[in-house]
Structure 1
Amino acid sequence: MTATPVAAGRPGTGPGPAITGRAGFADVISSEWMKIRTVRSTFWTLIALFAGSSVISLLITLAAANSYAKDLAEGKPDSADIVLAGLAFVGQIAAYVLGVMTISAEYSTGGIRTTLTAMPRRVEILVAKAILLAVIVFVIGLVTAFVCFYLGNIPLHAKHVGINLSYPGATRAVFGSALYLAGLSMFGLALGFLLRHTAGAITIGLALIFIIGNLFTLIPGSVGHWLYKVMPGNAGGQVTSFGETGRNPDKAFAPWTGFTVFLIEVVVLLIVGAILFERRDA
């Protein structure tokens, strides 16, 4: 009996080149983009960032328009930051939470094991997540900042005290708000890699940004002053403030100096997160 010849072209049989190849960084970006855009929490968090910030900015300026106009008439220092007040609350929280959940959700569901099986080069995963997250949040944050600015100005223009983009520091505050939101999302991503626990990373991060930083004002002397200045929320948030010198110039960094300090802190946390990500089991 003669052997039956193998059918040509059947997968896995016959001569042919071996399947080889190595996924490049573009493939990692593509994979992470697919994960980010197909997760429902990403969509709803970005909706909360946009809609919540816009509505809160409008409501705050509606409530404060009379007192704002009165303060200007009496020659008191104005508080132009109110037109972006929604970003200072809802926007910052949403951006930070999105950053944490971008990685912590994979740990909570076990999806990180599948990710590492498909792409064992861990640092590239972290870098791809950080790049995509920063770009997405910056774009949405910039749109939201402009919407907040113009919505918040509606009640102020009705009182003839509206704020234009020519106002000192206004353009920087609008673009700076988007940059700060992108930085906060990466800050959340870094803590997510470090702690690998959603609730823990969210609690610690929000406490650092909104609470602990302000508590350092209770420490007398230069030590308390320095600690206050370098805390993430106090340093990074300076770039979102109106005016040429930023918010509390006697206590805090200049806007771009503070934002640079904040970015250094984020990069350091991401590097530590990458080191631990390489060394720890999934």
Structure 2
Amino acid sequence: MNALRFFNKIQNRSLFWTKQKKKIGKYKIVAPGNITAKLEVPEYIKKPSYFSNGIPSEDVPNYPEIKNAGQIKCMRESCELAANILKNVGEFIEVGKTTDDIDVFVFHQCIKYNAYPSPLNYKNFPKSVCTSVNNVACHGIPDDRPLEDGDIINIDITIFYNGYHGDCSKTFLIGNVDTEGRDLVEATEICLKEAIQICKPGVLFRDIGACINQKAYNLGFQVIPCFIGHGIGHYFHGPPDIYHIGNNYPGRMEAGMTFTIEPILTQGSEMIEILEDEWTAVTVDNARTAQFEHTILITDYGADILTKVD
């Protein structure tokens, strides 16, 4: 069935159960809304290669990059700014604000600090931020839907600053979220934190997925497997691939590597579909999802969270 017609048919439902008859709470299913015109970035802002035609053309390494001190300094700066913009968004959002309002806010925050909003025109993505509400797993396009009491929303911020990308996301609670929604959000953040704690030189990349998958299972949730973390630097996406389930991805962590970890947990099935906009990923069973993301740096002794806000 056409995805938009499917949503229009069932969007008034509010109480769902998994195949195992587990109660997953009361919330609104999100359907695509109206999208406003793309905002124009001022000439003076330093831009990534894809800003005009949507096609990334940066020289991406074939293997996980070991960054030098200068590159790490740039990563710290871009990640700190991304994290602070995400913090500011958290203070801005409330019931009644649209996801397009969030996009405009993020855009102007980026411009204020001389940064480019990395998602804007990346492979033709039309907005400056991803806003994924309730049953939208990721890559939600900001539109005219107002946030409602009881929503959960993941806001994914990536900025391009001084030639380097910084990437982070958080799932926020809007108003009075039910117990099931709060449990999902809390579990997702726990999975991310525990995965970061195992990261240090010599650890296999695939150990991250094993850690997250087991913890999610123990907490009563599933990981959506088809979205992964990634290496990051002067390029938006590169090696290593960071899977959030059990996997056989090769390689070990080394000091100087930077990458994201960004698990998505769901209350229901792991199956998703992509809507006709070619970006928005939704759960097939309409279950809610939550996501948290940090960019980390592998150090000599462990991992430094570059997008952490004190």
TM-score (norm: length of structure 1): 0.28
Larger CA Rg, structure 1 vs 2: 1
Structure whose residues are more often helix by fraction: 1
TM-score (norm: length of structure 2): 0.26
